[in-house]
A and B are shown apart, each in its own frame.
Chain A
Amino acid sequence: MTEFLSYAFVQRALVTGLLLGVMCAVLSFFVVLRRMAFVGVGLSHAALGGVALGLLLGAPPLVAAALFTVGVAWVVGWLRGRTEVSEDTAIGVFFPTAMALGVVLISLSPAYRQDLVAYLFGNILSVSPDEVLPLAVLCVVGLALVGFYFKELLFLGVDEEAARAAGLPAVRLRFLLLTLLAVTIVAAVRLVGIILVSAFLVIPAATGQALARSLRGMLVVAVISSLVSVVAGLWLSWTWNLPSGAAIVLVSAVLFFGALARARRVA
């Protein structure tokens, strides 16, 4: 373990992984509360379109993906508020379309396919020193925003109509949550990849839900399980030469099933 921690690239991976793990765990609380798992899946698929666009245009892929995914999330949020198209339908139409666009763009540039594998499956061990600070700032700002509006987002998640009736700015809060989700998903693509990132936005809160008896407890368990998944997943990846993203998600899933088994025993 000491040798594992002595390498600079492992240290970078741990710092960014732990920060992203906390961010994903906190957002997973709202994803589970608002039953937005499908939104997470859709946004992660849309991120592929942004990554492909960035690769094709020579722009930083993650920046392009963030702008593209936030844009798509806003269109879906706007459609939900202004038209009779349901959020589910809008996601079902827009996100696969964005992914299909990504696939077409990638097919036009075969040279980039190798890069693409890292985005599809993630490789936190390849995080460069230049990427650590922006990812850390992103996580700190995101967590600060969630903390600042936690009560409001909770009320909105439980009873949107009553929250609106109480004078809370429901539309702005919904767009804030969608934006944070979109940006976090794109950031977490480095951690677990486009294909697996949506799992990391559901499993930590589901583990917390299975074990905790209070909302605070659920949040704490979600964060701890997420951190354990990152550390254990990275260590397994290092030890057995496994893909880091898949190892992290598998550890997370093992923790969830363990929590579920314990909850059933207690019940």
Chain B
Amino acid sequence: MSVPAVLLDGVSASYEGHPALEDVGFQVPQGRFAALIGPNGAGKSTCLRLLLGLVRPTAGRVEVFGHPPLTGDSDGVGYVPQKVTIPRGLPITAQDIVLMGRTAARGPGRLPSRRDRELAHTSLDQVGLADLAARRFQDLSGGQQQRVLIARALCAQPRLLLMDEPTAGLDSAARARFYALVCDLQHARGLTLLCATHDLDVVGEHADSIILLDRTVRAQGTPAEVMSGGRLEQAYHFPAHHVHQDHAAHGTDPTATSGTS
């Protein structure tokens, strides 16, 4: 049996002494799509930051493809943030952004090669934006910008894609298109996906498994298993139909008061 793409075992983490995660354990097998859900402050982003090596656990074991983050197959991890804020008027194109995905592989002192440019073009093509490669990033719509950020992550040729609320601010149609696209990429490239999200309805359709987090793992399993039995209401402190309806109407977490956890 192959090692899991993602493994957290008894993991705790804190910021400035304030606990963010307590004894969290889950794993994602290679080639699967897992969603991390939970209210704001649940520790979803912290899980991703642990896997990216940006935060160190205070206890427990974090592994990516069997190695600690940023030590083994760190090239195999792609990251899609919630959004990127470019200074107004900066003439940075979609292709410039995507080529950044080749920076670590290329190393300092070397300009992007023809192969890097081909990979950038292929990645943009895969997200349906090859025609907009020369368009300024800030002139693209929110959904297109998110697809550029996916293309940047794909350009690094990852085996694991970590996404932190990638559809925040998108309308429901754009969210549906986004998840259809990442599922296509998952199957085409054999990618493992781990997505922190509030999109309960959409990930319920697409994800292979869901981890319900509220500083610790409240439930994990298939979408049907996690979204039944009152687990969502318990974690979100809100009636389930409100969680779904509000989310479907606004694309946001009804309990949300601020940004990502």
List residues of chain A with CB under 8 Å of any chain B CB: 32-33, 35, 84, 147-149, 151-152, 154-155, 158-159, 161-168, 209-210, 212-215, 217-218
Contacts and interface: CB of A to CB of B under 8 A. Distances in A.
15 contacts: A32-B87, A32-B90, A33-B90, A35-B87, A147-B109, A151-B103, A158-B84, A159-B84, A166-B103, A166-B104, A167-B70, A209-B89, A214-B91, A214-B96, A215-B92
Interface stretch (B21-29, B34-42, B74-82, B220-228): B74-82
Interface of B: 16, 52-54, 70, 74-75, 77, 79, 81, 84, 86-87, 89-93, 96-97, 100-101, 103-104, 106, 108-109, 111-112, 136, 152, 156, 162
A104 B100 CA distance: 47
Contacts of B97: 158
Contact of A151 (B16, B93, B108, B152): B108
A161 B251 CA distance: 25
A34 to B, nearest CB: 8
A11 B234 CA distance: 77
* Closest CB pairs A-B (n = 9): A165-B52, A165-B79, A166-B104, A155-B100, A148-B109, A155-B103, A151-B103, A159-B84, A167-B104
Nearest to B162: A165
Contacts, number: 77
Contacts of B93: 214-215
Nearest to B53: A165
A218 B91 contact: yes
Given A149-B108, A218-B91, 17 more contacts: A32-B87, A32-B90, A84-B16, A155-B103, A159-B100, A161-B54, A162-B152, A165-B53, A165-B54, A165-B77, A165-B79, A166-B156, A168-B103, A168-B104, A209-B91, A214-B96, A218-B90
A161 B108 contact: no
Nearest to A217: B91
Contact of A213 (B86, B91, B104): B91
B79 A162 contact: yes
Nearest to B96: A215
A212 B91 contact: yes
A138 to B, nearest CB: 20
A165 to B, nearest CB: 4
A166 B106 CA distance: 12
A245 B87 CA distance: 29
Given A32-B87, A84-B16, A168-B104, A158 B92 contact: yes
A33 B87 contact: yes
Given A158-B97, A161-B81, A167-B70, A152 B91 contact: no
B72 to A, nearest CB: 12
A33 to B, nearest CB: 6
Contacts of A32: 87, 90
Contacts of B109: 147-149
A81 B114 CA distance: 37
B75 to A, nearest CB: 8
Given A33-B87, A152-B108, A167-B70, A158 B100 contact: yes
A248 to B, nearest CB: 24
A155 B79 CA distance: 13
